[in-house]
């Protein structure tokens, strides 16, 4: 892996890296504070900061505590043990630019089921009250912020001194190396894949665990769970279940196969996902909304449909690639482009690009149902406050940026074949618009 090519201008690239490095940690704390202590009102938080300045931020920033550390360590060790010990099929990841093929054990669905059953059982039998997690959430996030930064520094050092595979290297710039990472597939020993742990078993798993936590906390607080909370939790859990059902497919996506293990992916999955991705549920705990059965069902069905379409887009592409273009797409033989490319080691290879079905509507149509699904698990909060909608806005920006990054990468990889795909499928995300 040689020099990192900049997609945007250096000013935008370094500016956005440095601002994300410095602003995301306080943002996580402000998100938690607004939802838990400021009635979900950005204005209240803003006024607090305006009156007290930087000291105001320091005052609300919870210190990492022993109990927060214990909760995180127990959870992380439990997930690491499940990752290592649960049985699963041997799965090969995509071949990397240096010709390396990572091998995984596909036991994500089992780990997900064991985690939720254990967590809910601990509560049910009175062994551990998940409301404790909500009550210490600020300290937990604060501990995660600092702990994950240390973790990213260790990843950076490991990338320099003990890379796990040939898919590693320095860009020559310390900020780029720390931010984007150095290793594509860092491992501890032969089997413990660090990105599977950070992205899937810690980050995505925490989304489900916290969704359940918020429900239980609301039940403890009000004696019942509101219909808005139920719709939010069901949709988020269905989404996370879909993720683990398809986890081996996720190992073929940009996050794993192209983005290296650095602050962007690892800190993002260890801190940003537990806080920001779960934030609509975090908001609803203390701001319950009564939707009524009919509205609740409409929102639930719309959300389920979006999650299904998003799943079907990913499934269609992966079936098409797995069967070497022989799967049916919407009942017909797929239309395709046979694209050849050269690996960094100079080998000539071919890939198939699907140009019908969902992938014929737009080159990244799958982002539309992804964004709409997030909207539908947020809209139970109705429109009293903006804060629960932050995730939808963030996701939209993230995915529009990701579509551009992916298009640029594919253009560099496939050259004239990608141009042909763009002529056949001219829209990037929204058919007829963009």
- Phi and psi dihedrals of 103, rounded to 5? -115, 135
- Reduce the DSSP state of residue 353 to 3 states and report it: strand
Q: Is the CB of 156 or the CB of 185 nearer to ligand NDP?
A: 185
CB of 239 vs ligand NDP, minimal distance in Å: 8
Give the separation between CA 239 and CA 347, rounded to whole angstroms. Answer: 38
Half-sphere exposure of 23 (CA within 13 A, CB side): 6
Question: In the bound complex, what is the minimum distance in angstroms from residue 219's beta carbon to ligand NDP?
Answer: 27
Chain residues binding ligand NDP by CB under 6 A are: 253-255, 310, 314, 317, 351, 353-354, 359, 366-367, 370, 395, 398, 402, 406, 410, 413
Nearer to ligand NDP, 14 or 341 (CB): 341
73/412 with CB nearer ligand NDP: 412
User: Which residues, 6 or more positions from 97, have their beta carbon under 8 angstroms from its beta carbon?
Assistant: 1, 167, 343, 344, 345
Q: Which two tokens stand for residue 137?
A: 């959430």
Q: CB 310 → ligand NDP: shortest distance, Å? A: 5
Is the Cβ–Cβ distance between 80 and 197 less than 8 Å?
yes
Q: How far is the CB of 24 from ligand NDP (least distance, A)?
A: 14
Residue number, 178 or 251, with CB nearest to ligand NDP: 251
Cβ distance to ligand NDP smaller for residue 56 or 415: 415
CB 313 within 8 A of CB 249: no
Residue 335: CB partners within 8 Å, gap ≥ 6? 354, 355, 356, 360
Residue nearest to ligand NDP (CB): 253
What's the rounded Cα separation, in Å, for the pair 418 and 165?
29
Task: Work out how close the CB of 340 gets to ligand NDP at its nearest, in angstroms, rounded to a whole number.
Answer: 12
> 65: buried, middle or exposed (CB in 10 Å: 19+, 13-18, 0-12)?
middle
Minimal distance, residue 330 CB to ligand NDP, in Å:
14
Q: Is 75 or 421 the residue whose CB approaches ligand NDP more closely?
A: 421
Helix %, strand %, coil % of the chain (to 5): 65, 5, 25
Place of tokens 């004239």: 416
Long-range contacts of 146-150 (CB under 8 A, 24+ apart): 146/64, 147/64, 147/69, 147/72, 147/270, 148/266, 148/267, 148/270, 148/271, 149/25, 149/263, 149/267
Q: Which is nearer to ligand NDP, 79 or 370 (CB)?
A: 370
Residues 102, 99: Cα–Cα separation, whole Å: 10
Closest CB 370 distance from ligand NDP, rounded Å? 3
Task: Indicate the residue among 171 and 316 with the shorter CB distance to ligand NDP.
Answer: 316
For the CB of residue 354, give the shortest distance to ligand NDP in the complex, in Å: 4
């Amino acid at each position: 892996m040689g020099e990192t090519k900049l997609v945007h201008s250096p000013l935008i690239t370094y500016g956005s890296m440095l601002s994300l490095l410095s602003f995301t940690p306080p943002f996580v704390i402000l998100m938690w504070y607004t939802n838990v202590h400021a009635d979900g009102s950005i204005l209240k938080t803003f006024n607090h900061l305006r009156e007290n300045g930087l000291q105001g931020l320091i005052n609300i920033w919870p210190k990492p505590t022993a109990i927060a550390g214990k909760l995180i360590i127990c959870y992380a060790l439990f997930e690491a043990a499940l990752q290592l010990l649960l049985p699963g099929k041997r799965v090969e990841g995509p071949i990397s630019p240096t010709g390396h093929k990572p091998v995984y054990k596909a036991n994500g669905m089992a780990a997900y089921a064991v985690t939720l059953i254990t967590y809910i059982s601990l509560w049910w039998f009175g062994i551990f009250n998940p409301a404790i997690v909500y009550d210490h959430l600020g300290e937990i996030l604060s501990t995660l912020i600092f702990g994950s930064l240390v973790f990213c520094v260790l990843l950076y050092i490991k990338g320099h001194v003990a890379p796990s595979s040939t898919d590693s290297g320095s860009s020559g710039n310390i900020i780029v190396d720390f931010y984007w990472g150095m290793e594509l597939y860092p491992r501890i020993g032969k089997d413990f894949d660090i990105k599977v742990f950070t992205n899937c078993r810690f980050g995505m798993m925490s989304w489900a665990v916290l969704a359940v936590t918020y429900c239980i906390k609301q039940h403890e607080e009000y004696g019942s769970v509101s219909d808005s909370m139920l719709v939010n939790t069901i949709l988020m859990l269905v989404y996370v279940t879909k993720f683990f059902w398809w986890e081996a497919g996720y190992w073929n996506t940009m996050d794993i196969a192209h983005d290296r293990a650095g602050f962007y992916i690892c800190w993002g999955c260890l801190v940003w996902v537990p806080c920001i991705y779960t934030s609509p549920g975090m908001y609803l705990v203390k701001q319950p909304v009564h939707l009524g059965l009919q509205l609740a069902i409409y929102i639930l069905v719309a959300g389920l449909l979006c999650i299904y379409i998003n799943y079907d887009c990913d499934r269609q592409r992966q079936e098409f690639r797995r069967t070497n273009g022989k799967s049916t797409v919407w009942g017909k033989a797929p239309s395709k482009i046979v694209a050849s490319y050269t690996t960094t080691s100079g080998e000539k290879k071919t890939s198939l690009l699907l140009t019908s079905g969902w992938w014929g509507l737009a080159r990244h149509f799958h982002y539309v149902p992804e964004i709409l699904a997030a909207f539908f698990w947020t809209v139970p909060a109705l429109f009293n406050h903006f804060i629960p909608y932050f995730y939808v806005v963030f996701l939209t920006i993230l995915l529009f940026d990701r579509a551009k990054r992916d298009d640029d990468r594919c253009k560099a990889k496939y050259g004239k074949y990608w141009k042909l795909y763009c002529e056949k499928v001219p829209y990037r995300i929204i058919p007829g618009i963009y």
